[in-house]
Amino acid sequence: MPIYKTITISPTTSVYIWKVTEQENELSKGIELTPHCQGRMEGMKSEMHRRAFLSIRHLMDQAGYKDHDLYYDDFGKPHLKDGKYISITHSRNFTGIIISESDEVGIDIEMQRDKILRIANKFTPLREYRTLANTEAIIRKLTIVWGAKESLYKIYAQQGLSFLKHIDVMDFAFDDRRTVAQILYKGKKSHYEVEFLEFEGFTCVYALRMMGG
């Protein structure tokens, strides 16, 4: 069962990505779920969702954690019992986690699709994308911006936070592989480092809250 990619961001922060190719019975081997998570998985009608759910437990195992080390708060945000920070994502046949002992973190994987053109004005000012050469480039850039805002939303985890009004991602070139972002909400400003990568028609974005920001 191969892990697709591991990224060491710093000595304290790592990303783990899994490509789900295995069947459910294979993925369930060696995985012990808490009664709560067992119930959650049994409630999933989609086999793909169950396989993704199990693959995330394998990613946690890569990082030295079991299912019982994880819990969720009232907002649905995951936490590790040892106090380290974790964020989880899945899209189709890719899943990912980011774990940090030093920074609040968020991660998002998205499939690159033209559907994003139809919803773009709900999360970003489209005028910023007029300089891009073609539709494919616009889709790629919008997907990175969406993933960045999704990652920040996962870190901030407050109801009422608007992708369009409260989260601002600074402009970037594809080759940069990184940018910065900020949240301004209820008079409070916080700053984030954002990094992204693309593979097999998918985009992975992860964010770290900057110290003091």
User: In CATH, what number is assigned to the domain containing residue 112?
Assistant: 3.90.470.20
d(CA 136, CA 36): 42
Shared domain check, 119 and 202: yes
Q: How many domains does the chain have?
A: 2
Fill in the amino acid letter for 212.
G
- Based on the fold, state whether residues 187 and 147 are members of the same structural domain: yes
Using the predicted structure, report yes or no on whether residue 12 has a pLDDT greater than 60.
yes
Q: How do residues 102-139 score in pLDDT, each as one tens digit?
A: 999 999 999 999 999 999 999 998 777 777 778 899 99
For residues 21 and 91, membership in a common domain is answered with yes
pTM of the model: 0.95
**Residue 85 burial class via C-beta count within 10 angstroms: exposed 0-12, middle 13-18, buried 19 and up:** buried
Do 124 and 187 lie in one domain? The reply is yes
Q: d(Cα 39, Cα 33) in Å, to the nearest integer?
A: 9
- Same structural domain, 172 and 95: no
Task: Supply the range of the domain harboring residue 164.
Answer: 108-209
Interval 39-77: pLDDT, tens: 999 999 999 999 999 999 999 999 999 999 999 998 889
Looking at the fold, whether 147 and 84 belong to one and the same domain comes out as no
